Amino acid sequence: MAQGSFQMGIRFNPEYTAIFNKNDREAGAELDFKSHFTYLSFGVGGLYNFNKNVGIGVDVLFSREGQGFSGNFNGSALNEAAYSSVVGKQLSLNDTAISGSYVALAELNYIKIPVMLSLTTDNTRPVFFSALVGPQLNILYDVAQEVNEEDMDYPNTDFTPKSLYHKAVISGVAAVGAGYNLGSHLVISTRLRFDYGFTDAEKKDLMVSYAEAPAVRFYSTTRKAAHPASAGLLISIDYKF
């Protein structure tokens, strides 16, 4: 690969995701914090190689991710700082009893734009090793909140599931793995990829109105920050110019 070369291609990333929150993690039987494999992240990307060891990469990825929960409402007052209170509000507004066992999912659909420093061993060899690290912008595209495998909105209110979350999150990303030159113009890379949101995904100061009543805070003042994160196997197929 000559100095000053450019490559671009497609990205596939089956990923394991979570939304880390201290209140949810400590909620107990009312809300069991449960990470899970979710969907396939995919998109496109480009990499400019200054030389055979250093480059700059930019990707644009669609990522459907989030956090799964299970729990049991036993008739006690809900923990207002945990996500179980969100489930309780959804059930109540949809005329469903807040009782017994349930499963829930907070699904965030992001467009992720990482800008990464690329460091490699000699990338002109048939096989080379690489590491990428840098900041990432997560732009919120859509939100779905499920209870018992059914999407639930907030009827008779002035907000939607998407209203509860910030439009963007600042994250960090790192990936390590290997690349394979399959010819003069084709390279395939496989890397373990990790990203973590440093800023809060939830709009904690959001004021909402139920049935045209005066606006109140949606989230408890004691709820901690929610940090989206994912780990996956990033597969890149690039054409080298």
Pairing between strand 186-197 and 168-181? Answer: antiparallel
pLDDT attached to residue 39: 79
The CA–CA distances, whole Å, from 102 to 23, 148, 167, 221 equal 18, 6, 28, 25
Q: What is the pLDDT of residues 47-106, one digit of tens each?
A: 999 999 999 999 999 999 999 999 999 888 889 999 999 999 999 999 998 999 999 999
231 residue type, one letter = A
pLDDT attached to residue 1: 42
**Model confidence band, residue 35 (pLDDT cutoffs 50, 70, 90):** low
Q: What is the pTM of this model?
A: 0.92
Whether 27 has a pLDDT exceeding 70, the answer reads: yes
Q: Is 41 within 8 Å of 61 (Cβ atoms)?
A: yes
Does residue 219 or residue 1 have the better pLDDT? 219
The CA–CA distances, whole Å, from 234 to 2, 54, 134, 156, 195 equal 25, 19, 15, 42, 12
Q: State the average pLDDT over residues 6-26.
A: 94
Whether 24 has a pLDDT exceeding 80, the answer reads: yes
pLDDT attached to residue 2: 47
Phi-psi region of 149 (alpha: psi -120 to 50; beta: other; left: phi over 0): left
Phi, psi angle pair for 162, to nearest 5°:
-65, -30
pLDDT attached to residue 37: 62
pLDDT attached to residue 140: 98
Q: Tell me, rounded to whole angstroms, the distance of Cα 186 from its chain centroid.
A: 30
Q: State the average pLDDT over residues 144-173.
A: 96
Q: State the average pLDDT over residues 115-128.
A: 96
**Model confidence band, residue 3 (pLDDT cutoffs 50, 70, 90):** low
Q: What is the pLDDT of residues 160-175, one digit of tens each?
A: 999 999 999 999 999 9
Q: What is the pLDDT of residues 174-228, one digit of tens each?
A: 999 999 999 889 999 999 999 999 999 999 999 999 998 999 999 999 999 999 9
Taking the C-alpha atoms of 108, 227, 115 and 173 in order, what is their torsion angle to the nearest 10 degrees?
-110
Give, as one character, the DSSP assignment of residue 214: P
CATH of domain 5-240: 2.40.160.20
Whether 108 has a pLDDT exceeding 60, the answer reads: yes
